[in-house]
Amino acid sequence: MSDIPPSDVTDLFPKKEEDSDLQVLQHRLAELDSEHRDLDEVISRLSDGGVSDQLRIQRLKKRKLNLKDEITRLHAKLLPDIIA
């Protein structure tokens, strides 16, 4: 195996498709979590301000709720229920 250049060694041990799917889900989950936190901060700032645009706040809250639902679905895919 010493005759094989390092770049070719990775071809001997191909990545499992499951591993890349898992990484994609984890990356997407991190993105959604970040957007959810950002929306929470924006909603808080808009609500704390004197004059607020209630329609805009309502839309942001709806988007935040949709994100939370998607986050829950991804968590379920990553950590499926174990039937005991």
- Give me the pLDDT at residue 77, please: 87
In a domain, 35, yes or no: yes
Our count of domains for the chain comes to: 1
**Which pLDDT score, from 0 to 100, does residue 52 have?**
74
- Residue 84 within a domain: no
Domain that holds residue 63: 15-78
Q: Output the pTM of the full model.
A: 0.69
Contact 46, 57 (CB under 8 A): yes
pLDDT of residue 34: 97
pLDDT tens for the chain, residues 1 to 84: 455 555 555 555 555 666 788 899 999 999 999 999 999 999 999 988 777 789 999 999 999 999 999 999 999 988 876 665
| 1 assigned to some structural domain | no
Distances (CA, A) of 74 to 2, 28, 51, 54, 71: 42, 8, 36, 30, 5
In a domain, 3, yes or no: no
Is position 5 within any domain? no
